[in-house]
Structure 1
Amino acid sequence: MYIFIRMGVNDVYGDAVIVFELMMLVTSVCALLVSGWLWLQARRRSSLQALSGFGVMMALWCAGHVAILQGWERLGILLILANPLMPTFFLHFATRFVYPGRGRAPGWLQWLSRHVAALYAIGAAVILISWIGPGGRTVPLGSFEAFFVFQGLGWFNIAYTVAIGILAHLVLVWGLSVHKGNLRRSIVAMFAAGGWGLLLATSFIFPSLGIDWYPYPMLLLPSYVVLLVYGVVRYQILEANTFAREALPWLVLALVLLGVMALVRAFATTLGLDELSAVPLAKLWLSGLIAVAAALLLRRPLNSLSGQLIYPGVRLNEALLERWLNRLKSAGSWDALQRLASELITRQMGQPVRIQLQQEGEPVPPAREGALGILCQHRARGWRFRLEGWDDLKPGARLTGEVFGSLLATSCGLLERSLQLAEAERRRLASEHLVELGSLSAVMAHELRNPLNVISMATADLPAERRALIQAQLKRADRQISDLLLYSGRMELQPQPVDLGGLLGSLEPLFDWQQTGFETDLPAGLQLRADPHRLQQVFTNLIDNALSFVRNQPGSLIRIDADDSGRHIRIHNNGPAIEPSLHDSLFQPYVSRRAGGSGLGLAIVRRIMDAHGGSVRLRTDLGWPVTFELVFPEGAGT
């Protein structure tokens, strides 16, 4: 505000002086704000305390120039001559940053680390000497009524300041040679910012050397403070990057606004705006900066107010969204994710919300009339959500559903990738295990079949009834050995088009159906690209497994059908349902529900389907007590 008063009552100062004074004020304010933030962050990295002190001294140095322009010349000279503490703080920071007091370091660096207090004392002595000296005075410079220049002991002051600055950068050079990663990147950023600062501050010395030149580079000093601190902390404190991302658009907006104001003022006379052309450019720039600052301060309150006006009653905030996402990411299965999502959105909405997760290829579940629901579907480009029953709700409630649906779709993608990685790891371990098991099985099969053959031959003279009993058990043992070899052996496929209807027709005479019905419902001419021998083993195992539970049961039935694509083939039977406790372990080896089973039938089915790039799973939601669904990869069914 006082700059407006000065521009109104003292026209001796031109625009250039006002701009210089404004930039010094901006630099001082920026340095103080950054220093305060660094001090708060210093509990994470103690070296930031020294960098905070550097920022304070930078603010006082710029305030000294403002004081001189305000007529407080003695105070301004004292503040400017206090500049030796600025590089001393930076030297302290650089020492702590590259050498926190442990590990190997040169003797001179260890000495600096131990005697930082002595450096501050020497710097204070230099300041005191230059104050008494005297070390500086003010002289007219162009449009400036007074500008600081060094004299007498002031040259010792500036020489000491430069020497300490060089020493600080030597410390950084050593750090650059020993450190890697983010620490090294921070040091490189310090060098870049230091070079920029040296370029900007050089013009400050010109008047002391008798060069009558306006210090244009000093107008950019605010950028030096920001770039130095940001370059240091951006690799150490992630919040700095978040702040920079939010602040950069506003900085660009301010620069564009200043440029537009200067352009409009230049052509004001041409446009017939004579009153605007008479307004000093500094006044226009200051007004624009105040407008940008006011907009920045009011941005969050206005966003909150507009959100409440447009979406009344909505209670969404960053903390809630983060809590939702963390809870959803904690789910380890599709059922857990569906249950957890329903609980979260139901609690938020105050009424039941049904969550449906639809994998690719699954039928779309019907929507319930009048019920709220979120359907999350897997598509070619990832997971997408759809709101069901939300059309008549208020915009705020619908916004809540859309935000939650978006988080749910993201969580579905994360869970899918997590499960895929877990499955890939399981297959890798299983493959390693099967290699070992295959070698062992081949040896054991040879060793076991020899005595079994001897036993079989020894039963020739036994009574028929006893011989039949022993032969049945020998066949059972041989079948188990065959299953073990099949499960543990190498799975080499020879895929070719297979007529599924013809394959099932050829298998039908091989089974003892014992009054069990058998029917198929397949698309006409359905062919699968698969290994016919392995595919026959899959259906043989599944049909044999089903028959063991439905033979001689009234109305027993086995039915095989497929969808139009031929990729989803289902084997149903109306035998007893499988106990829920067995669902998770059903396809693991040596898990069997029937007496006399090897416990490898379903495990072999899964291994064959895995080799084809497909899968097998138990379904209990299709109206049959037991359904095994074979899912083949895309392009397998024609």
Structure 2
Amino acid sequence: MSLQTAFEIMMMVTSGCALLVSGWLLWQSQRQRDLIALAGFGLMMALWCAGHVAIFHHLTALGVMLVLANPLMPTFFLDFAVRFVNRGVARQPWLDRLERSMGLIYALSMAVVLLSWWLQGGTAVAVASFHQFFVFSSSGWFNLAYSVLVGILAHGVLSWGFLTHQGNRRRSIVAMFVSGGWGLLLATSFVFPSLGLDTYPYPMLLLPSYVVVLVYGVVRYQILEVNAWVNRALLWVGMMLLILGVIALLGALAGQLGMQALANVPGWQLWLYSALVLVLAALLYQPLNTLVGRLVYPGLKLDQLLLDRWRNQLKTAQSWDDLGVVAQSLISHQLGQPVQVRFLGRYEPSPRSGNDPCIQCRQLGGAWEFELLDWSDITPALRLTGEVFGSLLASSCGVLERSLMLAEAERARLAEQHLVELGGLSAAMAHELRNPLNIIAMAAAGADAETRGHIQTQIKRADRLISDMLVYSGKLTLQRQPIQLQAMVQALLVHVDWHGVRHELAIAEGLEINADPHRVQQVLVNLIDNALAFIRNQADGCLRIEADTQGVIRLHNNGPTLPEELATTLFRPFVSKRPGGSGLGLAIVRRIMEAHGGYIRYRADLGWPVSFELFFAAPAAAQADAADIPFIAAQESSS
């Protein structure tokens, strides 16, 4: 193969690559309008390379005209650079003016091209290994200088964009500079004959890589799916090079191995046949893969559109219940039969019903994994569908968990801010209210006994409300220490006015919890007082306090069952059905438990009409312990 033939083939490959890339960019420009200008750049490069090929085939006039159209190539690139840099930042007046002036710059570039044609700025001469090659005449150097000037302006715009942008746009600009330097290195040899250098332009043989590297560097951070295509392309190129190397080795050793017929075949023919076989394999891979998939998994209906639809609908879930409902609906509809979905971890799993297949997602080691249960009778195609869906569902679990954690952190921040404001207001209100209450108490000293009793009762109630507000809105500081739970509760129960209410204590001797004893007493007193207010007038009133070996405390009483609407708002402040209550007792309990890293919850399914469970946790282990306990929010936490 002669050097001129090699050069001609590389120019044709470059032109073909540029045309393909330009067509793809025009298709993608529906999503990103500035790619139209980059497509124009690719088209002009294709025409520029075609001009060199035309000169080799004695179409000298046409070839020279195409090469002299060179100024339009950097003009398209300048248009793209301006549009690309002027997006995603505050609009810059000078860039806006430059963008509006692009029509004039295109007209000026076209005028330079027409002037070069009229003044015959180029011709073709025999040089080096070429029987004809393009060279600039004296008037043609203006054409080249203008092209260089526009290219410098385009890279100046990109330099400003590099200093202004961040993230993927900045990475794209870096890629443009790298590919631009590569293109300059390859194309510089194009002017050697015009400078009187009788040298073969070897660097131009690599020119097909320039347009691909440039476009890939630009779009790889903007259109992410292109990376998958490039990954496949590089895989096939690597396989082709490997096969060519093996063929070359076989050709060299064939004579020594006794394969004389193979040794007599020209090496280039072996390489050509191998390349054709590999290209044919690449073309047939996808159809064969589809055919094999249908044979192994008959009835399989998975494609990218379906996966995208699944992914987008799973993203709409705002809670675990929503995710379960959406996931169950999607996979059941796809399989044409009921499929259950369960989550294990921080979320209380719903009980399974029947023997329907189930996708169970579990949190292990901070990551979510899925498991298919009772899928043994499902066909391979549908099972594969379940595995793909389970993988997407597990990813959605991780996304939802992080979203809920961020929302909870924001809620806690706003609640803390609210409590700080409420604390300041409560302190001021307490000071302002207690003064007139003291005056009322002193003024009531001269009243009759009945009136004075009524006044003192209401003053005590007001004072208790003020105290509860200060506790609820104040900053909770904990003094943690080991607490002998049985001894502390026994000492506490001695001072309770039971009024005939029967009480039971079931706490193992020696059981310890790590908590603030004063705050724990406050929690127990509030819960006991709250229970006594309802069961004190019952003939068979009973209150039971128990704790398990994990330190979970439960207080049961046989008072009236709470209405469902009250149970859902039980721990909110000022929600009280207790006669004479402040409405802050259970809200204070909840604050104290959360300060300990634990929580409280109401239950009516433990054999008693009313039960409260207290879960304490050490600061470092609070989250880990909570993950091991089925989480039903303390009603208020989820509302």
Same fold (TM over 0.5): yes
- Please say if 1:486 is aligned against 2:471: yes
Aligned-residue Cα RMSD (Å) equals 3.6
TM-score under structure 1 normalisation? 0.84
Residue aligning to 1:175: 157
Quote how far apart the aligned CAs of 1:564 are. Answer: 4.6
Quote how far apart the aligned CAs of 1:422 are. Answer: 1.8
Residue aligning to 1:122: 112
Given that 1:98 and 1:171 are in contact with CA atoms closer than 8 Å, whether structure 2 keeps it comes out as no
Residue aligning to 2:582: 598
TM-score under structure 2 normalisation? 0.83
Given that 2:192 and 2:199 are in contact with CA atoms closer than 8 Å, whether structure 1 keeps it comes out as yes
- Cα distance per residue 1:32-77 (max 9 Å; x no partner): 10011122234455553343233223223434555666xxx22367
1:317 counterpart letter in structure 2: D
SS where residue 378 of structure 1 aligns?
strand
Given that 1:77 and 1:137 are in contact with CA atoms closer than 8 Å, whether structure 2 keeps it comes out as no
Provide the C-alpha distance between the structure 2 equivalents of 1:323 and 1:183, rounded to a whole number of angstroms: 28
Quote how far apart the aligned CAs of 1:186 are. Answer: 4.1
- Cα distance per residue 1:230-281 (max 9 Å; x no partner): 2333444445445434434334333444444444444444444444444444
Residue aligning to 1:4: none
Distance 1:526 1:335, change over 3 A: farther
SS where residue 83 of structure 1 aligns?
helix
1:194 counterpart letter in structure 2: G
Provide the C-alpha distance between the structure 2 equivalents of 1:218 and 1:401, rounded to a whole number of angstroms: 52
Quote how far apart the aligned CAs of 1:224 are. Answer: 0.5
Residue aligning to 1:59: 46
Quote how far apart the aligned CAs of 1:225 are. Answer: 0.9
Provide the C-alpha distance between the structure 1 equivalents of 2:374 and 2:244, rounded to a whole number of angstroms: 51
Provide the C-alpha distance between the structure 2 equivalents of 1:245 and 1:627, rounded to a whole number of angstroms: 60
Quote how far apart the aligned CAs of 1:456 are. Answer: 3.6
Quote how far apart the aligned CAs of 1:494 are. Answer: 0.5
SS where residue 135 of structure 1 aligns?
strand
Deviates more, 1:200-209 or 1:395-404: 200-209
Q: Structure 2 residue aligned with 1:419, among 399, 404, 408?
A: 404
Deviates more, 1:315-324 or 1:488-497: 315-324
- 1:15-94 → structure 2 map (5 Å cutoff): 19-44=6-31, 46-64=33-51, 66=53, 73-75=57-59, 78-79=62-63, 81-94=65-78
Q: How many residues align?
A: 611
Provide the C-alpha distance between the structure 1 equivalents of 2:155 and 2:598, rounded to a whole number of angstroms: 59
Residue aligning to 2:331: 345
Residue aligning to 1:408: 393
Residue aligning to 1:617: 601
Residue aligning to 1:500: 485
Given that 2:219 and 2:226 are in contact with CA atoms closer than 8 Å, whether structure 1 keeps it comes out as yes
Quote how far apart the aligned CAs of 1:326 are. Answer: 2.4
SS where residue 312 of structure 1 aligns?
coil
1:91 counterpart letter in structure 2: T
Provide the C-alpha distance between the structure 1 equivalents of 2:4 and 2:538, rounded to a whole number of angstroms: 104
Given that 2:40 and 2:76 are in contact with CA atoms closer than 8 Å, whether structure 1 keeps it comes out as no
Provide the C-alpha distance between the structure 1 equivalents of 2:75 and 2:539, rounded to a whole number of angstroms: 93
Given that 1:127 and 1:157 are in contact with CA atoms closer than 8 Å, whether structure 2 keeps it comes out as no
- Cα distance per residue 1:290-330 (max 9 Å; x no partner): 34433443343333333322322232322222222322222
Provide the C-alpha distance between the structure 1 equivalents of 2:336 and 2:97, rounded to a whole number of angstroms: 68
Distance 1:75 1:438, change over 3 A: same
Quote how far apart the aligned CAs of 1:530 are. Answer: 1.0
Provide the C-alpha distance between the structure 2 equivalents of 1:326 and 1:437, rounded to a whole number of angstroms: 41
Provide the C-alpha distance between the structure 2 equivalents of 1:177 and 1:199, rounded to a whole number of angstroms: 20
Distance 1:246 1:188, change over 3 A: same
Provide the C-alpha distance between the structure 1 equivalents of 2:351 and 2:99, rounded to a whole number of angstroms: 74
- 1:246-261 → structure 2 map (5 Å cutoff): 246-261=232-247
1:155 counterpart letter in structure 2: S
Query: Could you list the runs of 5+ residues in structure 2 that have no partner in the other structure?
Result: 626-639
Distance 1:519 1:432, change over 3 A: same
SS where residue 358 of structure 2 aligns?
strand
Provide the C-alpha distance between the structure 2 equivalents of 1:111 and 1:327, rounded to a whole number of angstroms: 45
Provide the C-alpha distance between the structure 1 equivalents of 2:180 and 2:592, rounded to a whole number of angstroms: 66
Provide the C-alpha distance between the structure 2 equivalents of 1:534 and 1:185, rounded to a whole number of angstroms: 55
Quote how far apart the aligned CAs of 1:552 are. Answer: 4.1
Quote how far apart the aligned CAs of 1:585 are. Answer: 3.5
- Cα distance per residue 1:132-172 (max 9 Å; x no partner): x881145682xxxx543246xx4347634532331122212
2:47 counterpart letter in structure 1: L
Given that 1:135 and 1:157 are in contact with CA atoms closer than 8 Å, whether structure 2 keeps it comes out as no
Distance 1:108 1:421, change over 3 A: closer
- Cα distance per residue 1:347-371 (max 9 Å; x no partner): 2232322322233496x77654523
Quote how far apart the aligned CAs of 1:535 are. Answer: 1.4
